Amino acid sequence: MNTQTIAGQSVSVNDEGFMTSYDEWNEDLGRELASMIGIEELTDDHWAAINFLRSDFAERSETPTLRRVTKVGGIPTKQLFVLFPKKPAKKMAYVAGLPKPKGCV
């Protein structure tokens, strides 16, 4: 396990840089993580996705797949690709301080 300092806070991360402790995350960290992967401003739409990921993970202990974010979270797939370009599933998970989704679909 590694720790690193992000937004002035010491947090646990894995080898790739994904946070590993659900409770260490907060919105300031979310903003800083987003900026580190090139998303400079988090809009309400970004937060809707991030908040869905966090609440769904809290219930199921599993990062939701893109399909679940669309089907259950109600955020259209096309919009997710605009908000978190190219790799929305992984990027959302990263910003939300969660592991990468494991599901294939």
CB of 53 to other proteins, least distance (A): 15
Residue 64 has phi, psi (to 5 degrees) of -65, 145
CB of 44 to other proteins, least distance (A): 21
- Residue 28, CB half-sphere, CA atoms under 13 Å: how many? 8
Binding site for other proteins (CB under 8 A): 1-6, 10, 13, 15-18, 36-38, 66-68, 70, 76-78, 81, 85-91, 94, 103-105
CB of 6 to other proteins, least distance (A): 5
Is the CB of 4 or the CB of 55 nearer to other proteins? 4
What dihedral angle (degrees, nearest 10) is formed by the CA atoms of 87, 61, 21, 84?
A: 20
Is the CB of 45 or the CB of 67 nearer to other proteins? 67
Residue 9 has phi, psi (to 5 degrees) of -120, 145
In terms of DSSP bridges, do strands 2-6 and 9-13 run parallel, antiparallel, or are they unpaired? antiparallel
Is the CB of 23 or the CB of 86 nearer to other proteins? 86
